[in-house]
Structure formats: structure tokens, C-alpha cells
Structure 1
Amino acid sequence: MIAFDRFTDALDYPMYVVTAQAEGERAGCLVGFGSQCSMRPVRFMVWLSELNRTCRVASRAERLAVHLLRRDQEELARVFGGETGDRADKFTRVAWHAGPGGVPVLDEAPAWFVGRVAERVAGHGDHVGFLLAPEEVRHPADGGFPVLALREAIGIPPGHPVD
């Protein structure tokens, strides 16, 4: 649908790095589909490509971490968006620590939250939705920062096919 492509081309939404851990296996990817979707209770939905290793690990995970990056952190975004975890351990290239439930939290991310997976939504296209109930949140006390958005990440070639 060309008209819908024009509509979405006008958007410049934030990009996120989503990480997961299940049964001793870690994964993470750059995600463009995510948003708060409820105020009471607070909920956030991220959509992971079915082709992505992170989706397979997340399907067995109890929690996911969602990270915001600063606009100048394109190299960190490139690690999680331009490589596939099927061929490389992305976590050997970045500083991280185990967060709640063992989920990897990226040390360089200025803001992040770990959410319990409240529900998985599959069968509606090529992505699986993960409804998250935030449990722990870190954000700078001094307010906001310029976040990495689609326009900054558009040049990162995907680590796996997109269709």
C-alpha cells in the first residue's frame, strides 16, 4: 500500500534495543515497533520479528529489557540492528550487566526498563507482540535526552532479511 508507506515514512519514532535471557541464552535486537499502550495499569508493547533470534529467546523469557539510546549511539544500535545473533554473540562487544531475572541490561544505555512479559500476541503479520509490565526503570534524573530515532538508524542494514 503506497499511501500507507507514505504515512509511515513521515514518522520518526524512537528506536529501542530489546534484550532477553532464557535458559542461559541471551539475545538482543534493535526494534522500531514499540510504545506505551496503557496508563493504568502501565503497559508497554514491543513487537519482535519472527525471523529474529531475539524473538525465539523472548518467547521463552519471563522478562525483557527495553533500552533507549542517545542519538549519538549509532554504533551501539548497529551492533544490535546490523548483526544477527545467529552468527555473533553481540554481548561480547558491549558492556552489560544482569538485571532483574537475569535479563541483560546495557550499561551504556542512558534509560531502560525491565518488564515482566504479561502476554504474547502472535499471528498478526510477521512480528510477535510482547506486552510488558514494567518492574524496574532507570532514567536520568535531569530529564530527557535526544533519543536515537528511525532517521538516525535507517542506514543500518538489518542483520537478517526483513521479508
Structure 2
Amino acid sequence: MRKWLSALSIIVMMLSVSACGFALRGAVVFPFTSIFVDMPLSSPLGAELKRNIRSSGQTTIAADAKSADVALQVLAETREKAILSYNSQGRAREYKLIYNFRFRVVDTSGKEVLVPTVISLKRTISFNESQVLAKESEEALLYRDMQSDLVQQIMRRLAVLKME
């Protein structure tokens, strides 16, 4: 009897999850076959973005903008660190890390396919003077996490482009 109830509850949970519209994120399908990513070779963001685009399978990374269907142009990329709160001695206790990325997508004729778009990511980090090295490592880790999140957001925006 117990096995039947547990099996029935598992079936009910599976049906309810599928009925709510939940689906695993599948492969990204782009409306173009080649893209030029206007970022330096040394850029970690550019390398991760190109790797994710290549992994989609059907889209290639072009060597120059003329040979690509579209070009992703980076307009600005900034990292900021703002103080959120102070301790009783007037020293920073908490910071807000901000990663702003502004880009646009143009086709071969120079027409904007995606108007200039800003993606802004924010994370909060506490600070402790006795753990400076650990907090620096945590900050670097948070920026890498924001970079991965940024790449996924760019991929989703590229996937929904309307090509004419």
C-alpha cells in the first residue's frame, strides 16, 4: 500500500510540474548562421560568449563583420564597486558590485537589428577587515558569476532577434 501511495504521489508531482509550463532550458537557436563578436581576443567575457555561441551547434563565429550575418558591437563594459553601509568606526562594511554591459547588434548593411541594450547586474558583498584576501577572492568569484549570467542573458537576447 505504501509503495502505491509513493508512486502515485510521484506521478501527481510530475504531472503538476509539467502542467505549470516548466521546461528545462534547451539549446539556443539563433535566427542567423554567423555572427561577428566585436570583442578583443583577451576578453574573458568575449571568450565565454563565443564558446557558448559555438556550442549551440548551428552558428559560426566570423572573423570579420563583413563575412557575418550580424555583428555584436560592444558599446560599453564597466565594473563598479559602491559602498552600501558603514560600521561604527566609519569603515565600509558592505559593498554593491555592479556590472554594466551595453551592446547592439547590426546586420551586414549596418542596420540595427537590436537597438543599444544595457544589461546591469548587481551583487552585494560584505566586507571584513580581518579577511581581506578572502573577500578579494569572493569579489572575483562574484564578478565571474555575473559574467556567466551576462553571457546567458546575451544569448537569450540574440535568440529572439527578428531578422528581416
TM range (shorter): under 0.3
Q: Normalising by the residue count of structure 1, what TM-score does the alignment of the two structures yield?
A: 0.25
Structure number with the higher helix fraction is: 2
Larger relative strand fraction: 1
Larger radius of gyration: 2
What TM-score, normalized to structure 2?
Answer: 0.25
